[in-house]
Amino acid sequence: MGHHCCSKQKVKRGLWSPEEDEKLIRHITTHGHSCWSSVPKLAGLQRCGKSCRLRWINYLRPDLKRGCFSEQEERTIIDVHRILGNRWAQIAKHLPGRTDNEVKNFWNSAIKKKLIAQGFDPNTHNLLSRNHHQNNKMKNSCKSKTSNYPNSTSVFTIETLSSSKEVGVISMDIIKASLAALPPIATTTTITLPQSQTSWDRPCKSSLTSTTYNYMNPISVPTTTNMENSNLATIEYQNQSTSNNLLSSSSSLSPSGFGIINENCMWDVTGFEPQLIGPSNGQEEMQLVQQEGAQLLQLQENICQEEVYKVNHEFNNNGQIAENVTFDNSNFDFEFVDSALMPCGIYTNVNSIDQLAWDC
């Protein structure tokens, strides 16, 4: 059974021949594709319009980047997927020259398996094997005083400690998530690592001696947004289930508090890119981590800005007054905001990472 647009006529299916490709390219480059349904007839192809469109978008478009995905692209896919989920078209927009189909195939054939192999749930980006254990632990003895999200899937227990700075089992994603959860006031964060630990994702329960690093919270750096106009929205995120928040029309966007979970620690053992961060090369590596964290934050901020802009743009076009716009009557993507702000379920009001310890 074919697609309804194809059922009316006899259409060829299956792989495209070079001759068909040539016909389609010649037609689109000379006439464009104002209406895909008319393209097959005009181009002399026995295909349906949808098939032509897919062939052009996924394979024949001149601006496509062919070949293997770069490591940077892989990371971008993972990072954006963490925020957006299986919205392949949206993810592909962050990868110039790549199509949603290509990204989807790459995810399913490569990244997904690597994440699973590393113990990550590719859907939630949380650890797989320890989920139940940690969830049970959360139920029984969670002392978190800050996380108030009932649907949190965090596998980490956060405790407020008055004096201890010890970091037990820790991975890069936890570090970044916690750093990103810091309020924008803090500019420098002190992280104490066991001396013996040279890799962030390598569990190390005992710490005889420790090394201290300073980590600049990239969120704390004031950034200016470059939206089309200054008529931006401020999100006062409280509780999505009972939200009755207002969009204000004249304040500036401040998506601070973005959480980051980063599976970059997986590269360490998958052979992609060893990231040894420790006393031997800590200074240099921490700079790289800072840069990477800042880039990731910028990426997440950009995505959030796009969502917020969509809301404003839509209402402005409709001639409505932004002050009267609420989340309830908007189509704002709460799920997106939730995932962007609390990707690992960590939501905290603590003043510095010194107050955090991870009970893993």
Site for DNA in 227-246 (CB under 7 A): none
**Is 83 or 170 the residue whose CB approaches DNA more closely?**
83
Q: Which stretch binds DNA (CB under 7 A): 87-95, 152-160, 228-236, 274-282?
A: 87-95
**Smallest gap from residue 217 Cβ to DNA (A):** 32
Among 76, 90, 217, 348, binds DNA (CB under 7 A): 90
CA 130, CA 132: separation in Å to the nearest integer?
Answer: 6
> Which one of 25, 42, 50, 135 is in contact with DNA (CB under 7 A)?
50
67-75 long-range contacts (CB < 8 A, ≥24 apart) are 69/98, 69/106, 69/110, 71/272, 71/273, 73/98, 74/106, 74/110, 74/111, 74/272, 75/264
Q: How far is the CB of 113 from DNA (least distance, A)?
A: 7
Nearer to DNA, 87 or 165 (CB): 87
Using CB under 7 A, which of 49, 122, 257, 343 touches DNA?
49
The 8 Å CB, 24+ separation contacts for 10-14 are 10/46, 11/40, 11/46, 11/47, 11/48, 11/51, 12/45, 12/46, 12/47, 13/51
Number of H helices and E strands in the chain, helices first, is: 12, 4
Interface characters, 310-329, with DNA (x: CB under 7 A) = --------------------
Nearer to DNA, 332 or 358 (CB): 332
Given 6, 304, 308, 353, the residue binding DNA (CB under 7 A): 6
User: What binding mask, one character per residue, do residues 27-46 give for DNA by CB under 7 A, x or -?
Assistant: ------x-xxx---------
CB of 32 to DNA, least distance (A): 11
Interior angle at CA 105, CA 37 and CA 119, nearest 5: 150
- CB-based contact 177:350 (threshold 8 Å): no
Classify residue 279 by burial, with Cβ atoms within 10 Å: 0-12, 13-18, 19+.
middle
Q: List residues binding DNA (CB under 7 A).
A: 1-3, 5-6, 12-16, 33, 35-37, 47, 49-51, 53-55, 58-59, 68, 86-90, 100-102, 104-106, 108-110
